[in-house]
Each structure stands twice: as structure tokens, then as C-alpha cells.
């Protein structure tokens, strides 16, 4: 397919590379006459090859896909896009997708000892399952169809070591993606067979008796065929003793949860392509012990949640002419959620009964997308999507005696059509406009536009002005899992966002980005009381927010990088004017990586600061700062790393929802990990 022109921002380095090539040539001419020059030539060629690899990586570092569903320069994208590469993941020792995401401006993470959550630009309601973020793996939607959850912790079904890059696109994306693309679209691009080019084994061990093993095979079969297959196992016993003052009573073990923090995952991934065809699939299963006793469960008893997520997608992409590109895909997805909740029950054998969740979702879908460049200075992108939900089953029951509390079985379908146009009437100006129509059986239709004006007055300067709207459809859980009456009349949540962006490249190595945003949310779906002792869901809340983000990023050479970013965000309830919960006003991230010894050793330091946050009960979770350090040693085909997280053992807590007896949950202190990988 055609790719929009990319700015040659690395031309200075290419000039240096040309000098290096001439040097190698001059040495090679004299090598025939001088003994010993062959070794020098081999060394120079090896260094040159490494420089080529780094320059190729750098040239791709500014190219993004998720903002427009085709490749383009990040500066030309109709959004603010951040990129985290596989080198970043290795150098900074990231263990989960949540750790990757919170390294960029405007993003922050929290954890309730069961799931990890992502806040975007001042909004993250405690207990919400990341439903206002669209999570993709290579363009494939990962949010499930029961809870619409985006998995970002150890429940993310892809091993982070298999990530080639992560594109984090802020702002509304419903004009291309539909529901969940509310605050951001996060596209995780996995490695391919040619990217690995061999068999790799990896093992790591860490605090809390954590252990992980991975086996990966990536092969290039011929010029147009490659395949990657990988399997991963992870197990952690978690913290052995956790104290919660809300349960400090002799009847509940004096508030100490013992051996109730375990975590285990199993993951499988396939990524294969042959000519114009591609087949990809994965399966991830994660089981978590929950020590916090939410939902009035019995403290210090076995409470587990299990998430199983998988998909298989076949796609075809062909460029019929220089100006016409076709993409078609067909996919099958499956998600299963199981949970075991302990409650006091005199009829149970040991006085502890179990309430269980057993939810299942299966769906089929297809997308057809066309990109047309036949009009002068214009690119048109259009597509249609159809999804049929085979199963959307929610089952909740007591084991002893067997009592069904909820049994909702549903099947339905949705379809959508979208159109986006990018016009460049004069060289420094780009107009990008798109619109999407979605139809749902439950609430009907919704239409969402986005318009961006992108102005490049100078080679190194880009200005953007963006308006967009987005929506989140009520999920099956909100529509039917109620304590009183059905809520199937729920309307979608909507957001209107206004944003200005200034991107400035100071030189070949350093760039800065400054942005300001303002958004309003209407019809936020919240749990409300219904009668004396019941509850239901309703479109009851409205939110307004404003803020600024600033980031400076430098990439001077391989393994010498640095980033500093700051975010100010002010998020309020539109009706009361009060600050909302779990919304820090200030975020600061600083990270640097630097070579230590002959480019084979790398040191990396990362620091996070978050200002205080309100809890749902209007108490305060204090400000905190954490520092992580990682050391990496690469020698031939082996890579060894050691990381220490929360180096200074900072004590802090994250706010949690009102389903918890606790107001906030204390986070892990200092932890460590060692890791080794070997490529055959």
C-alpha cells in the first residue's frame, strides 16, 4: 500500500553513515596488500550492520498505524500518538502492559490486587474495567463483549516480550473503531517470525517466588512467508501476609490475609503470513487469588478470579493498483470469566459457602476496508464491520444449596460503516475528517465524527487542532446484571473532545510535544439505588475536564535515550463542580537509558510521581513517587537483565471502589527480578 511521505528527520545520521561506508571501502582497498586488515574490516562491517539496524528502527519509530488505520508519520496523524518500542520494554524492564502505558504522558495505572486499571487524562473510576479504552493486538479488538474489559495487567493475553511496539493514541477514536475508543486506542503490535529469526528461550525469577518461562520460535521460510509460535508460563505466590485494618478483628485473623495473593498465567501466540494472507491467534488464561475480600465476602478465605481470552483471525490484504488497497478479515473470539466468592453459610460443610460466576462470550466478525489514493492530494479510507455475538451468557449461583441468582443468555449483532478522508490542498496543510455509523440492537444508532487540521509551517514544526466525539455502548453486564429491574433502556455514554497539539523537533535527536485538551462526558453509566435495598444502572453522571501535557524525548544513539513528561489535569463532576475520585492533578515521568560498557551493558532509571487522589468515600490517597532501575547485559546471543522496582520502598495506596471495605489498597513495596534470554 502507499504510505504518506515521511519527513527525513534523520538525515544527519545518514550523512555520518555515508562517511562510515566510505571508510570501510578505503580500508577494503588496502586490505588486499596488508596482512591483518581482514579482522579490522570484519569489525567495521559488524559495527556498520549494527548502525543500519538502529537506523532502520529509528526510521520506523515515527510511523504509526492506529490513528488512521494505515501507516503514516506520527506528526501527520490526526491525534497525539506515543510509541513504546521493544527496546524500551527490554531496557526499562517492563513486566506488564500497564507499566508500559503509564510511562507516557496523560496515563496512570492503579491496582486493586486483582486487576490493573488505566486512567487517561484525569479519568479512571475505581472498579471500572478499562471499558473506555480500546485495546488492540495488531488491529484486533481485545475488549470482551460481556464487560468490555481491556486487560492490561498479568491478564493481558500476550507476553510483553513478544511486543514489537505499542502505539498509544489519545483522544476519541470512535470515528474509525466504534465503542470503547473513548479516551484512547492502544494498539499492541507483536513481533513477527523475521523479527525473532530463530528459537529463543527465556526465564526469569523474582520476589514473591515469581517465575516465568517462555519458548519462542520465529522463522522466515522464504521471501514472502514467515511464522512465529510462542508459549509462556508464569507463576507467583504473591505476598505471603497482607494486613488490612478494615478486618482487624480476631474473627477475621486480625486483618491478615495469609497466602491469598497468588497469580498464574498460561499464554500461547501464533503469527503467520504468506504472501497476501495472514493468520494470527492467541490464547491466554490467568487465575488470580484475591486477598482483599470485596463484595462482603469472607476475609482470609479462598477467593479466585479466572479470565480466559482467545481469538483466531484470518486476513487478506492486496494492492490492486498503486492507488487501491483492499483489506478483509474474518475472526472468531472467545472469553470466559469464572469467579469463586466465599461467604459464611451454615449449610456448607465447613461453614463457608461459595457463590460462583460462570460467564461466557463467543463472537464472529468481519471487516472489509478499502484505501483509495486515486484523487489528487487525497486519501480515502472506507470500511464496513459486522459482528455476531453467538453467546453472551451470565450465570451466577450459590453452590450449597444450589440457588441461581442470575441466568441471562443473550445473542445479538452489530454493524458499522465508516469513511475518512485526508486532503492536502497545499503542502504545509492537511485536513483529516472522518465519520462512523454504528447500529446496536439494544439502543439503536450512533454517529461519531472527528476532524483534524494539521499545519506544518516549518520542517521541524507541526501544529494540530482536533475535535472528535466518541461513545461507549452499555455492556451486557450493565444491561442485565441488576439487583432490581432490567436496565436494557440504557443509552451509550458520549464524549466530546477538543485538543490542540504542538510538536517541535529541536534537532535530529530531540523533540518536544505540548498539548492542551478539554472534554465533556454525558450520560456516564453508574450504579444507582433502586428502592430501599436494590440497585440498577442508569445514565446518571456528567463529567468535564481540562488539562495540558508536555513531553521532551531524546534519542541520541542506540541505548542512549531519555524522556521527561508532565501532565496537569482537572476533572470535575459537571453537576456539582466537585473533583472526581482517583484523579491526580499532577503526573511526572522521567526515564533515562545509557550505555555502561562497550555498548554491551545498559543502565536504565525510571521515576514516576503522582499527586494525591480522592477515594470514592472522599478520603485522600496521598501523593507518591517511585523509582525503578534496570541493568541489561547483551553478549552475543544471550541477554541478561536485573531490575529493582520501587527502589526506595515507597509506601502508597491506590483508591478502590465501594465494593471494598477498604478505602484504598496498599501497593507492593520494593521488588526485584532477574531474567535471561538466549537466541539460538
Dihedral (Cα; 650, 651, 654, 660), 10-degree rounding: 160
From 158, 173, 139, 179, select the one nearest 97 (Cα to Cα). Answer: 158
Q: How far is CA 210 from CA 207, 216, 223, in A?
A: 6, 20, 40
- Joined together, the cell numbers standing for residue 367 give 471487516
Q: Residue 397, Cα to own-chain centre: how many angstroms? A: 33
Please report the pLDDT score of residue 272 as a whole number.
97
Largest CA distance in the chain: 97
pLDDT per position as a tens digit, 450-473: 999 999 999 899 999 999 999 999
Mean pLDDT of the 632-646 span: 95
pLDDT per position as a tens digit, 533-566: 567 888 989 999 999 999 999 998 777 899 999 9
Please report the pLDDT score of residue 61 as a whole number.
65
Please report the pLDDT score of residue 481 as a whole number.
67
Cβ atoms within 10 Å, residue 111: 16
Q: Has residue 40 got a pLDDT over 70?
A: no
Burial of 155 (0-12, 13-18, 19+ CB in 10 A): buried
CB of 182 within 8 A of CB of 493? yes
Q: Has residue 236 got a pLDDT over 50?
A: yes
pLDDT per position as a tens digit, 386-407: 999 999 999 999 998 999 999 9
Cβ atoms within 10 Å, residue 342: 20
Q: Has residue 517 got a pLDDT over 60?
A: yes
Q: Can you name the CATH fold of 61-679? A: Maltoporin; Chain A (2.40.170)
Q: Has residue 223 got a pLDDT over 90?
A: no
Please report the pLDDT score of residue 636 as a whole number.
85
Mean pLDDT of the 271-295 span: 97
Domain ranges of the chain: 1-60, 61-679
CB of 408 within 8 A of CB of 146? no
pLDDT per position as a tens digit, 558-588: 778 999 999 999 999 999 999 999 999 999 9
Q: Provide, rounded to the nearest whole percent, the portion of the chain with pLDDT above 90.
A: 80
Mean pLDDT of the 318-324 span: 89
CB of 562 within 8 A of CB of 546? no
Q: Has residue 485 got a pLDDT over 70?
A: no
Higher pLDDT pick, 59 / 87: 87
pLDDT per position as a tens digit, 608-637: 999 999 999 999 999 999 999 999 999 889
pLDDT per position as a tens digit, 327-337: 999 999 999 99
Q: Provide, rounded to the nearest whole percent, the portion of the chain with pLDDT above 70.
A: 89
Mean pLDDT of the 296-317 span: 97
Confidence of residue 270 (pLDDT cuts 50, 70, 90): very high
Please report the pLDDT score of residue 536 as a whole number.
80
Q: How far apart are the first and last CA of the chain?
A: 34
Higher pLDDT pick, 401 / 321: 401
| Average pLDDT of every residue of the chain | 90
Please report the pLDDT score of residue 591 as a whole number.
97
473 SS3 class:
coil
Task: Report the distance separating Cα 512 and Cα 515, nearest Å.
Answer: 10
Amino acid at each position: 500500500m502507499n504510505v504518506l511521505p515521511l519527513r527525513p528527520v534523520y538525515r544527519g545520521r545518514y550523512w555520518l553513515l555515508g562517511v562510515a561506508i566510505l571508510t570501510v571501502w578505503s580500508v577494503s582497498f588496502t586490505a588486499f596488500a596488508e596482512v591483518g586488515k581482514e579482522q579490522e574490516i570484519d569489525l567495521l562491517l559488524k559495527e556498520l550492520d549494527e548502525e543500519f539496524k538502529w537506523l532502520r528502527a529509528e526510521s520506523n519509530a515515527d510511523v504509526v498505524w492506529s490513528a488512521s488505520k494505515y501507516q503514516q508519520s506520527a506528526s501527520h496523524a490526526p491525534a497525539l500518538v506515543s510509541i513504546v518500542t521493544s527496546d524500551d520494554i527490554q531496557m526499562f524492564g517492563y513486566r506488564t502492559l500497564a507499566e508500559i502505558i503509564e510511562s507516557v504522558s496523560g496515563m496512570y495505572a492503579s491496582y486493586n490486587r486483582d486487576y490493573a486499571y488505566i486512567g487517561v487524562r484525569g479519568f479512571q473510576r475505581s472498579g471500572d474495567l478499562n471499558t473506555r479504552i480500546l485495546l488492540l493486538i495488531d488491529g484486533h479488538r481485545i475488549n470482551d463483549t460481556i464487560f468490555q474489559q481491556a486487560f492490561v495487567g498479568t491478564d493481558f493475553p500476550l507476553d510483553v516480550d513478544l511486543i514489537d511496539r505499542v502505539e498509544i493514541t489519545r483522544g476519541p477514536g470512535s470515528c474509525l473503531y466504534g465503542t470503547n475508543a473513548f479516551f484512547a486506542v492502544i494498539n499492541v503490535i507483536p513481533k513477527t517470525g523475521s523479527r525473532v529469526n530463530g528459537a529463543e528461550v527465556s526465564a526469569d525469577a523474582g520476589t514473591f517466588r515469581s517465575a516465568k518461562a517462555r519458548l519462542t520460535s520465529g522463522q522466515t521460510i522464504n521471501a514472502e512467508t514467515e511464522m512465529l509460535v510462542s508459549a509462556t508460563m508464569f507463576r507467583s505466590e504473591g505476598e505471603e501476609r497482607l494486613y488490612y485494618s478494615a478486618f482487624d478483628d480476631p474473627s477475621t485473623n486480625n486483618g491478615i490475609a495469609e497466602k491469598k495473593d497468588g497469580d498464574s498465567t498460561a499464554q500461547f501466540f501464533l503469527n503467520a503470513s504468506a504472501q497476501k494472507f495472514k493468520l494470527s491467534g492467541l490464547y491466554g488464561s490467568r487465575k488470580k487469588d484475591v486477598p482483599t475480600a470485596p463484595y462482603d465476602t469472607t476475609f482470609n478465605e479462598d477467593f479466585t478470579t479466572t479470565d480466559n481470552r482467545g481469538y483466531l483471525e484470518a486476513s487478506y490484504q492486496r494492492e490492486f493498483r498503486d492507488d487501491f488497497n483492499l483489506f478483509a478479515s474474518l475472526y472468531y473470539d472467545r472469553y470466559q470469566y469464572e469467579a469463586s466468592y466465599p461467604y459464611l453459610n451454615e449449610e456448607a460443610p465447613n461453614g463457608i459457602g461459595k457463590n460462583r460466576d460462570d460467564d461466557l462470550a463467543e463472537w464472529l466478525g468481519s471487516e472489509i476496508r478499502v484505501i483509495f489514493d486515486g484523487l489528487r492530494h487525497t486519501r480515502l479510507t472506507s470500511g464496513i464491520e459486522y459482528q455476531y455475538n453467538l453467546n453472551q451468557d451470565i450465570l451466577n449461583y450459590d453452590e450449597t444449596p444450589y440457588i441461581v441468582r442470575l441466568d441471562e443468555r443473550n445473542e445479538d449483532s452489530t454493524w458499522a460503516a465508516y469513511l475518512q478522508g485526508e486532503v492536502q490542498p497545499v503542502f504545509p496543510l492537511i485536513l483529516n475528517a472522518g465519520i462512523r455509523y454504528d447500529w446496536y440492537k439494544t439502543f439503536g444508532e450512533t454517529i461519531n465524527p472527528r476532524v483534524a487540521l494539521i499545519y506544518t509551517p516549518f520542517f521541524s514544526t507541526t501544529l494540530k487542532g482536533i475535535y472528535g466525539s466518541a461513545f461507549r455502548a452499555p455492556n451486557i453486564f450493565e444491561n442485565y446484571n441488576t439487583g432490581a429491574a432490567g436496565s436494557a433502556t440504557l443509552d451509550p455514554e458520549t464524549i466530546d473532545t477538543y485538543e490542540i497539539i504542538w510538536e517541535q523537533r529541536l534537532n535530529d535527536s530531540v523533540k518536544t510535544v505540548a498539548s492542551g485538551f478539554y472534554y465533556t462526558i454525558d450520560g456516564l453509566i453508574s450504579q444507582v439505588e433502586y428502592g430501599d435495598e436494590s440497585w440498577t444502572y442508569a445514565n446518571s453522571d456528567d463529567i468535564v475536564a481540562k488539562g495540558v501535557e508536555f513531553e521532551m524525548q531524546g534519542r541520541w544513539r542506540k541505548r542512549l535515550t531519555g524522556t521527561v513528561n508532565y501532565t496537569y489535569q482537572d476533572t470535575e463532576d459537571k453537576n456539582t463542580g466537585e473533583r472526581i475520585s482517583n484523579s491526580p492533578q499532577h503526573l511526572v515521568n522521567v526515564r533515562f537509558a545509557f550505555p555502561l560498557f562497550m555498548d554491551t551493558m545498559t543502565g536504565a532509571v525510571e521515576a514516576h510521581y503522582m499527586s494525591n487522589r480522592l477515594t470514592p468515600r472522599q478520603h485522600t490517597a496521598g501523593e507518591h513517587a517511585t523509582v525503578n532501575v534496570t541493568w541489561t547485559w547483551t553478549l552475543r546471543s544471550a541477554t541478561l537483565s536485573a531490575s529493582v522496582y520501587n527502589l526506595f520502598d515507597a509506601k502508597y495506596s491506590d483508591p478502590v471502589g465501594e465494593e471494598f471495605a477498604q478505602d484504598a489498597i496498599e501497593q507492593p513495596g520494593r521488588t526485584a527480578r532477574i531474567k535471561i534470554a538466549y537466541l539460538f
